[in-house]
Amino acid sequence: MGHLDHAAFGLLTPVLSYAMAVIGAALGLRCTVRALGTSGRSRRNWLITAASAIGTGIWTMHFVAMLGFAVRGTDIRYDVSLTILSLLVAMLVVGAGVFCVGFGRDRVRSLLVGGLTTGLGVASMHYLGMAALRLHGSVRYDPLLVVLSVVIAVVAATAALWAALNIRSPIAVAVASLVMGAAVSSMHYTGMLAVGVRTDPAGGELPGATAMQFIFPLAVGLGSYLFVTAAFVALSPTAHERAAYTSAERPSGGVPAQPPATGPATPTTTATA
């Protein structure tokens, strides 16, 4: 069996991947909270932003952590198409769970279905990303640890959606995001502990792209997207702020202001017989 190193660059990749998970969770929760305070097209747009933020944050967390993954005795490459597919799955399945909560009428059922869907989406993204791995040898998994990682993903997703439904304070959202980031990172490293690799040094040239050729530039691009989205959410006024601004524009007393006269008044004449 090949020796696995999950932190080839020390604490850099675990800490950075956790930060990406927290940022994605914070944005997703904040956007979901904003969505629940609106309706119609505005709610849909906020939920789409929430799904893209959570999906992007989880995917970036996974592959930033994978930058520190190494196996003694073999190089590592990544299948480009499967890697991109894992990103799309993360966004689409997480989006389905978020929309279930955002538009569901029965809160309990929506939370359970949304949490299950989102958690399975996180797990699917992780194991699709692992399926994109190319190395000299074969990869095996411990079934019990795989099941445990999926359970952690579902519980973490359900807890995050519960927070979106019940928490409004920015400080509480920040705390929930820290917990969600820790849960997602735990899911990732639990899944990685399930991995065993039997190396085959006699293998030929590996297909696919190296992490620095493909994963690193894409992770930097998606990380930049998260920061831009964070700025947009921070600067976008809330429904309460918009209502206060509209109220401030109205004149006191509720009587509409009359525009000033722009010309002399027309005299009134009385017809005489």
Q: What is the pTM of this model?
A: 0.78
Residue 140, pLDDT score? 92
92-123 CB burial, b ≥16 within 10 A, e <16:
ebbbbbbbbbbebeeeeebbbbbbbbbbbbbb
Q: What percent of the chain has pLDDT over 70?
A: 85
* Residue 250 counted as domain residue: no
Counted domains in the chain: 1
269 pLDDT exceeds 50?
Answer: no
Is 130 inside any structural domain?
yes
Give, as one character, the DSSP assignment of residue 10: T
Taking only the tens place, the pLDDT of each residue in 103-137 is: 878 888 888 888 898 888 889 889 998 999 888 88
Is 253 part of any domain?
A: no
* pLDDT value at residue 85: 92
> In angstroms, rounded to a whole number, what is the distance separating the alpha carbons of residues 119 and 237?
31
pLDDT for 238 equals 63
More confident residue, 202 or 25: 25
Average pLDDT over every residue of 68-93: 89
Burial class of residue 84, CB neighbours in 10 A (0-12, 13-18, 19+): middle
At 152, is the pLDDT very low, low, confident or very high (cuts 50, 70, 90)? very high
User: Does residue 66 fall inside a structural domain?
Assistant: yes
Q: How far apart are CA 98 and CA 37, in angstroms?
A: 15
In this structure, is residue 179 part of a structural domain? yes
Contacts of 106 (CB under 8 A, 6+ apart): none
The answer to whether residue 246 is domain-embedded is no
The range of the structural domain enclosing residue 26 comes to 4-238
Q: Is the pLDDT of residue 250 over 70?
A: no
**pLDDT higher than 90, residue 31:** no
pLDDT digits (tens, 9 = 90+) for 159-209: 878 887 787 777 877 888 888 888 889 999 999 999 998 887 766 778 888
Q: For position 191, what pLDDT does the model report? A: 92
Least confident stretch, 45-49, 190-194, 215-219 = 215-219
Instruction: Please indicate, yes or no, if residue 273 is contained in any of the structural domains.
Output: no
The whole-number average pLDDT for the span 144-149 is 95
Mean pLDDT of the chain: 81
Q: Give the pLDDT confidence score for residue 151 in this predicted structure.
A: 94
| Confidence at residue 149, expressed as pLDDT on a 0 to 100 scale | 94
148-173: string of b/e by CB count within 10 Å (b at 16+)? Answer: bbbebbbebbbbbbbbbbebeeeeeb
- pLDDT given at position 142: 94
What whole-number distance in Å separates Cα of residue 161 and Cα of residue 205? Answer: 44
| Per-residue pLDDT at 2 | 62
Please provide residue 264's backbone torsions phi and psi, each rounded to the nearest 5 degrees: -65, 150
Q: Which candidate, 59, 60, 49, 56, places its Cα nearest to that of 99? A: 49
Q: Does residue 134 lie in a domain region? A: yes
